[in-house]
């Protein structure tokens, strides 16, 4: 019983974070898009790459994301110096998180 009271006391002390949203075609979308930053874009790319390319994608770390025309995140791995081959690539729509393209260079 005491633990519940402590948990509730902590709930009241933390303010809920609100996000400005827009309504589009019956969906609520954050103003900054569902993929607002580089970290989020990289996490989405990793989630898509992993089941396709396996743990080998981590040999291409660090991953970098670049926002193109304020609408598409391009996420790529880094080829280690002196190595031949390719790196994982993903294009992700900022507005809704839709994965537009994935590939892995040779």
Q: Quick: pLDDT tens for 81-98.
A: 888 889 999 999 999 999
What DSSP string describes 9-62?
HHHHHSPPP---EEEETTEEEETT-SS-SHHHHHHHHHHHHHHHHGGGGGGGPS
Tell me if the pTM is above 0.85.
no
Query: Is pLDDT at 10 greater than 60 in this prediction?
Result: no
Domain ranges of the chain: 32-104
């Amino acid at each position: 019983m005491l633990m519940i009271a402590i948990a509730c006391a902590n709930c009241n002390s933390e303010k809920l974070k609100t996000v400005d949203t827009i309504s589009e075609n019956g969906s609520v979308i954050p103003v900054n898009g569902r993929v607002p930053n580089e970290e989020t874009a990289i996490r989405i790319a990793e989630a898509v790459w992993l089941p396709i390319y396996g743990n080998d994608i981590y040999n291409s770390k660090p991953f970098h994301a670049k926002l193109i025309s304020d609408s598409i995140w391009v996420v790529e791995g880094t080829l280690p110096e002196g190595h031949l081959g390719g790196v994982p690539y993903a294009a992700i729509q900022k507005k809704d998180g839709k994965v537009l393209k994935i590939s892995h260079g040779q």
